[in-house]
Chains A and B, each alone.
Chain A
């Protein structure tokens, strides 16, 4: 578990990635930043992060497609994804089933809350539970 503190942050809004990475680093995580889905997928394969925080709407490849690709690739299929999304945005159960998404966090969100969720996932030695997703998605 040498990469257990690696976190990948993907969002096309620079102010958001700046603040999220700053707060995660303060909490002791190693943070990698991507500003589009294609870069994020590449970094996920290269750095094997413990958690990925991704925006839903991104250039070149959106968050949903990114999560599907992560799920499909054996190298990354175990990495849980926290999806930053618009409030009220619904993902269907079949959409969720094909992805690694474990948490839906609606914007605007609190950085403290996000760091808490990342900490929680890292503390969970098991593969984590996807029950959260149902709760948030519902």
Chain B
């Protein structure tokens, strides 16, 4: 992991750049001065050397003539004296007369003389040369032969060799030159990196947001490497940040971010935030449960691969890539072990300024779908239930209207049928209202004194004809006197009607339905018994559940809303009573309503 300290070490501070530039300037000054000095000295020295050589040539030319004359007169001692004098006075380093065999007959320094006297035979002298600092002149002595006058100019040895100071200056200059070259290279390399970085900054200011696109070539040196390190650090921090904040919450502090993350974890819905390649950047606890994965395992994984379902993957794919607004919704079972479970997966892109991505919500809508199905079935059932009494009413009213001459008995019979169907319709509408009231929690009992004797008379009248039409014997076995109870009359009527209606519905033709009454000190009981199909032990409680329809094949085609019994029990329980069931399959059932005699305790719903 790269730390800021590391970056600092990679990037030299400004002061070292200044120092480098100062050093360069100093080197330039040193080199310039040294060069000027060197050029001046050399020019001067050349002039001196040339002047001295000219003077020497004139002098030695005259000297050679005098020496020739003296030697031809055999005045060797005079020659020797002359050379000594001229050597001392003339500023010459050395003067000597050499023969062709190298023998020396005269010298400014007498110690070097090899021939004390002039030999008789002089061997020829070879080619003579003159150079910087010395001259060789021919001497022609008649009768003797030839010799050579060699003159060495004084001080030439020191003047002409490179001085120590000069060497030192040269060395420093060369060093400075090398330093300058090095500095140039360093500066060039450094500025190349800086130029690349400034290019990247320009691109960023022109809208390039992707850190990877702003990276520079690391061959440009440590600045380039440091810049890239900084960018990758930025990427890492950003990823960390978005992982922590999860839902892109603009938490002011890390505390707010933590609160938000905790809130997301408390959601029932699965919440997943993905990047523009559908890789998971955040998933809350519920999402991990829905996807049957550990949350740590989800991070960075491709969401579509985690869900595995091809259709969902295809539906989610439009969320990848661009920042354009996209919404997708799909409902599927994603848990193979629960194929009855329905999940709604909805996704929406979240166009951030600096990154694409999407938020995906996973909801378990199984309960909603079950409720939808029940409601649809209920509506279908209720419309069917409504249609039957309406059809009867229409048929019998039509008959009465079309045939005014119908005999009185038939007329009365039809009127009763129509009346019964109107009552049936009332009950159905009452049931529906009660259901909606119970669902809304607004069902209230309107209690009053209820004369049970009158209630039973109404019931007998309502069901007499339907029973007769189905050839069922409907009996009311009641004591001569019935008590008065405090209750909601309509609700109690609804409960008992539902029980008698069910008994008629599930009892085959020729059967029997009996209504009985019992009472003790504080309770009354109404039994409704039939000789019908009977209800198995397993279903004796289920029949009281809303929308439950028996699995018994014998009731196929018998319509029912699945509401009658649950509704009856609910209203009786609101009175502080209950409905119980005793039944034997194939023999019949007895439903019993028990009610307290005193005023109900729970009037308020």
Contacts and interface: CB of A to CB of B under 8 A. Distances in A.
Interface of A: 12-16, 18-20, 22-23, 35-37, 57-62, 86-87, 107-112
A37 B398 contact: no
Nearest to A20: B395
Given A15-B417, A20-B395, A112-B398, 6 more contacts: A12-B558, A16-B388, A86-B383, A108-B391, A109-B394, A112-B402
B469 interface: yes
Complex A-B, nearest 7 residue pairs according to Cβ-Cβ distance, in ascending order: A59-B557, A14-B469, A108-B391, A108-B394, A19-B395, A108-B390, A107-B391
Given A57-B557, A60-B556, A107 B399 contact: no
A8 B572 CA distance: 44
A57 B384 CA distance: 9
Contacts of B396: 15, 19
Contacts of A19: 392, 395-396, 399
Contacts, number: 65
A55 to B, nearest CB: 9
Nearest to A23: B399
A14 B421 CA distance: 12
A87 B384 CA distance: 9
Contact of B388 (A13, A22, A23, A35): A13
B555 A59 contact: yes
Given A14-B469, A59-B558, A110 B394 contact: yes
Contact of B399 (A14, A37, A111): A111
Contacts of B417: 15
Given A15-B469, A23-B399, A57 B394 contact: no
* Residue among A14, A22, A86 with the highest chain B CB neighbour number at 10 A: A14
B398 A62 contact: no
Nearest to B384: A86
B541 to A, nearest CB: 25
Interface residues of B, number: 24
Contact of B469 (A18, A22, A87): A18
Given A23-B399, A59-B555, A111-B399, A16 B391 contact: yes
A120 to B, nearest CB: 19
B50 interface: no
A14 B555 CA distance: 17
Contact of B387 (A15, A86, A111): A86
B557 A36 contact: yes
A14 B470 contact: yes
Contacts of B391: 13, 16, 107-109
A15 B556 contact: no
Interface string B520-562: 0000000000000000000000000000000000011111000
A13 B557 contact: no
13 contacts: A13-B392, A15-B396, A19-B399, A59-B555, A59-B557, A60-B556, A60-B557, A86-B383, A108-B390, A108-B393, A110-B394, A110-B398, A111-B395
Contact of A15 (B383, B392, B559): B392
Contacts of B392: 13, 15-16, 19
B557 to A, nearest CB: 4
Nearest to A62: B557
Contacts of B384: 57, 86
Given A14-B470, A23-B399, A86-B384, A61 B390 contact: no
A53 to B, nearest CB: 13
Contacts of A37: 557
Given A16-B392, A108-B390, A58 B398 contact: no
